[in-house]
With several copies, the nearest count.
Chain A
């Protein structure tokens, strides 16, 4: 497969979308917040907590409960999204919650709740991976103890080429494969993995490798963003 292949938006196969931006502190009222933009996809994440659990019977004596809510605003997509949760957003919320529970040190905050709200402001494919990327940043921005950050992106196959971080036009190509992915760089634990499309295992191997490299790039940007705001925060 040729690496010379140029994509619909001029990217090389292994490139993230442009711009790929990270911004911290975008919701002043929240305890921590972050915005991630990948091309035309924009997601905001913000964290409230650790805080009191209401109703009390949901409390866990040994650790914090982590609650995650992914949502698309009505005008984030071409066809107006009806407000309120649907099955897709319920599933994505759960997957992101699952992923984050691998890094947040919940046992540091017994009998509390940590709420993470994710709002898709503009959707052009890859909203769940942008949301997860933003979520771990918002948690860090809120000063929540974490084992590591989680970078997340998708990779896939478009017109026979293995590519990183598909946009919507690519995702919609006949026979495309899309594989949302996230892993913890320090432990190599895969915490998000899904796939749509028809693939050989060999292709999946290549796609996962591509996704992992993308995550590594995003991880650098995540670290940089935290450092810029908090200086030595991550180096202690």
Chain B
């Protein structure tokens, strides 16, 4: 939490196109990606954007399919803010902010048909792979949506599928190839304060943001999910230009950070 005066100052600066750390409005902080950060996960990745740190891990289990999709694997995405990620977080059941983050990232992956879930069917109607995607916010210095999206996409690409024995039990230490990734998707976010649209706020800047617009961008340039978040609004005429920018940035990020 910062003081009211500090907030007014940051807001004024942003509205004048200036930032605390002298970045340009549309400039990201340094992004560092590291895969394979969890020995016991099937796949994992750490993403740092400036001092914001997110880790994502993928666990795979053999489970039963849903009745209406008997030949498809199951994707379950959750997000948790580690209680030390900022002074505002308390341990406890998922808050609506954690739920929203998990659901927005999930929609990008799911709607963008990132994973060929049919290839994760083991025995039709009986056994399929369940993919647990777990996102942890380790240190919150703003823009956790973009960091989470990059972490999840990298963790998915890091996955080695466990080998199964004849009873469909996992054989420790043996693997059976990678996840059937059909598309890469990143969800990127535009932030609005006053009349200014900018990217990648740090924690202090995020406190003065009115609204955010997150779009899932697929490697073929399609938009696969949208979410206007936070209390404020975007003007009707701002939506499409913002999406064009997000798309361009998304394709750039896929090229740079999801290989």
Q: Could you tell me which A residues sit within 8 Å of B by CB distance?
A: 27-30, 33, 40, 44, 46-48, 51, 69, 71, 73-78, 80, 83-85, 87-88, 90-91, 93-94, 98, 101-102, 115, 117, 119, 121-124, 179, 183-184, 188-201, 204-205, 208, 212
What are the residues of chain B within 8 A of A190 when measuring CB–CB? 228, 233-236, 239
B40 touches A98 (CB 8 A): no
Query: Dominant SS at the A interface?
Result: mixed
Asked whether any CB of chain A lies closer than 8 Å to the CB of B58, the reply is yes
The answer for the CA separation of A190 and B138 in the assembled complex, in Å, is 32
A-B contact count (CB 8 A): 167
Specify the chain B residue showing the minimal Cβ separation from A101. B231
What are the residues of chain B within 8 A of A46 when measuring CB–CB? 84
Query: Dominant SS at the B interface?
Result: mixed
B134 touches A74 (CB 8 A): yes
What are the residues of chain B within 8 A of A115 when measuring CB–CB? 83
B226 touches A48 (CB 8 A): no
Asked whether any CB of chain A lies closer than 8 Å to the CB of B249, the reply is no
What are the residues of chain B within 8 A of A195 when measuring CB–CB? 223, 225-227
The answer for the CA separation of A75 and B57 in the assembled complex, in Å, is 6
A27 touches B233 (CB 8 A): no
Cβ-neighbour of B112 out of A122, A198, A201 (below 8 A):
A198
A194 touches B226 (CB 8 A): yes
* Closest-CB distance, B50 to chain A (whole angstroms): 10
What are the residues of chain A within 8 A of B94 when measuring CB–CB? 87
Those 8 A-B pairs whose CB atoms lie nearest each other, nearest first: A75-B57, A46-B84, A189-B233, A195-B226, A75-B41, A193-B228, A80-B59, A117-B84
Stretch at the interface among B14-22, B100-108, B117-125, B146-154: B100-108
Interface residues of B in 86-136 (CB under 8 A from A): 86-87, 91, 93-94, 96, 99-100, 102-103, 107, 111-113, 132, 134, 136
Cβ-neighbour of B139 out of A27, A91, A122, A184 (below 8 A):
A27
Asked whether any CB of chain A lies closer than 8 Å to the CB of B165, the reply is no
B96 touches A94 (CB 8 A): yes
What are the residues of chain B within 8 A of A197 when measuring CB–CB? 111, 224
Specify the chain B residue showing the minimal Cβ separation from A178. B111
Q: Given A193-B227, A194-B226, answer yes or no on A29-B141 (Cβ-Cβ < 8 Å).
A: yes
What are the residues of chain A within 8 A of B227 when measuring CB–CB? 193-195
Asked whether any CB of chain A lies closer than 8 Å to the CB of B203, the reply is yes
Q: Given A90-B96, A198-B222, answer yes or no on A75-B107 (Cβ-Cβ < 8 Å).
A: no
* Closest-CB distance, A9 to chain B (whole angstroms): 14
Asked whether any CB of chain A lies closer than 8 Å to the CB of B6, the reply is no
Cβ-neighbour of B240 out of A40, A124, A194, A205 (below 8 A):
A205
Q: Given A74-B134, A117-B91, answer yes or no on A200-B226 (Cβ-Cβ < 8 Å).
A: no
* Closest-CB distance, A84 to chain B (whole angstroms): 7
What are the residues of chain A within 8 A of B112 when measuring CB–CB? 198
* Closest-CB distance, B88 to chain A (whole angstroms): 10
Q: Given A179-B226, A189-B236, answer yes or no on A74-B132 (Cβ-Cβ < 8 Å).
A: yes
- CB-defined interface of B41-79 with A at 8 Å, one 1/0 digit per residue? 100100000010001011101000000000000000010
A83 touches B78 (CB 8 A): yes
Cβ-neighbour of B107 out of A74, A102, A184, A196 (below 8 A):
A196
Asked whether any CB of chain A lies closer than 8 Å to the CB of B230, the reply is yes
Name 6 interchain pairs, CB-CB below 8 A, sorted by A. Answer: A29-B139, A75-B134, A84-B93, A87-B94, A91-B103, A121-B37
Asked whether any CB of chain A lies closer than 8 Å to the CB of B237, the reply is yes
Specify the chain B residue showing the minimal Cβ separation from A191. B233
A29 touches B239 (CB 8 A): no
Q: Given A28-B139, A91-B96, answer yes or no on A201-B243 (Cβ-Cβ < 8 Å).
A: yes
B240 touches A80 (CB 8 A): no
Asked whether any CB of chain A lies closer than 8 Å to the CB of B218, the reply is yes
Asked whether any CB of chain A lies closer than 8 Å to the CB of B206, the reply is no
Asked whether any CB of chain A lies closer than 8 Å to the CB of B200, the reply is no
Q: Given A75-B58, A208-B239, A208-B240, answer yes or no on A193-B86 (Cβ-Cβ < 8 Å).
A: no
